[in-house]
């Protein structure tokens, strides 16, 4: 009886472990799929913009709500930090490796899978420009071509990064969900002060 019960518990534990592994791989596949789609859309739209848009004759759409204005950006997202192209390229490569090596293996939530997918798509999209476009490797200028009123010119990769940032803030700060899918409770300020006071009194 005890042997049967122990065997049943062991089998249940193994089954749960296998399900967790399968679920984690599904999340990883989802994240990579989102990244791949985002990267492909970014590369295609940049190629079309670079080949068909005239930098001196922007296309105005939707009554001026959107302008297709082609520029070559040596800085970061939204043309920030121009002149530091190699630095941004190195940081982008490091960020992409961090997501692939550290965060993806820990995935345990569908929202985080999508968020990291968008993040990888955005980082990889602009990094691709910096590697393969002129004037040289890790010095290439990023193709930007989308402009909203009173907003810097951007591209699809920038949109992916911003989408990822919003999702990460919602998941980590407002919903208190970690990359692994665990829910955690933040200590309230009054609880933190009581904890700090008790620690001081004990010392």
Domain ranges across the chain: 13-185
Q: Which DSSP category does 105 fall into?
A: G
Helix (H) or strand (E) holding 67: strand 66-73
Catalytic residue status for 158:
yes
Q: Which of 15, 129, 144, 190 is flagged as catalytic?
A: 144
Which residue among the candidates 15, 42, 54, 158 is catalytic per the annotation? Answer: 158
Dihedral sign computed on CA atoms, order 179, 165, 94, 48: positive
Expressed in angstroms, the distance from the first to the final Cα of the chain is: 52
Least confident window among 10-14, 48-52, 60-64, 113-117: 10-14
* Residues 109, 27 contacting (CB under 8 angstroms): yes
Tokens of 5: 């019960």
Write out pLDDT tens, residues 143-189. Answer: 999 999 999 999 999 999 999 999 999 999 999 999 999 998 776 65
| pLDDT score, position 30 | 98
- Report the C-alpha dihedral over residues 191, 195, 197, 199, rounded to 10 degrees: 180
- What's the rounded mean pLDDT across residues 102-109? 96
144 is catalytic: yes
CB 99 within 8 A of CB 35: no
Is the pLDDT assigned to residue 13 strictly greater than 60?
Answer: yes
Helix, strand or coil, per DSSP, at residue 161? helix
The predicted model scores a pTM of 0.82
- Min mean pLDDT across 72-76, 90-94, 175-179 is at 72-76
């Amino acid at each position: 009886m005890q042997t049967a019960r122990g065997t049943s518990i062991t089998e249940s534990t193994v089954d749960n472990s296998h399900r967790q592994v399968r679920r984690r791989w599904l999340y990883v596949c989802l994240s990579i799929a989102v990244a791949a789609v985002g990267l492909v859309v970014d590369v295609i739209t940049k190629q079309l913009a670079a080949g068909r848009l005239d930098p001196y004759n922007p296309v105005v759409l939707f009554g001026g709500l959107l302008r297709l204005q082609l520029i070559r950006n040596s800085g970061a997202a939204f043309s920030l930090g121009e002149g530091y192209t190699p630095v941004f390229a190195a940081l982008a490569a490091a960020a992409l490796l961090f997501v692939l090596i550290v965060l993806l293996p820990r995935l345990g939530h569908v929202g985080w899978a999508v968020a990291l997918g968008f993040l990888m798509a955005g980082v990889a999209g602009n990094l691709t420009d910096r590697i393969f476009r002129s004037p040289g490797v890790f010095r290439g200028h990023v193709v930007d071509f989308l402009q909203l009123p009173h907003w810097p010119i951007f591209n699809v990769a920038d949109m992916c990064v911003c989408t990822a940032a919003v999702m990460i803030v919602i998941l980590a700060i407002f919903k208190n969900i970690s990359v692994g899918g665990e829910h955690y409770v933040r200590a309230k300020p009054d609880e933190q002060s009581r904890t700090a006071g008790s620690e001081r009194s004990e010392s």
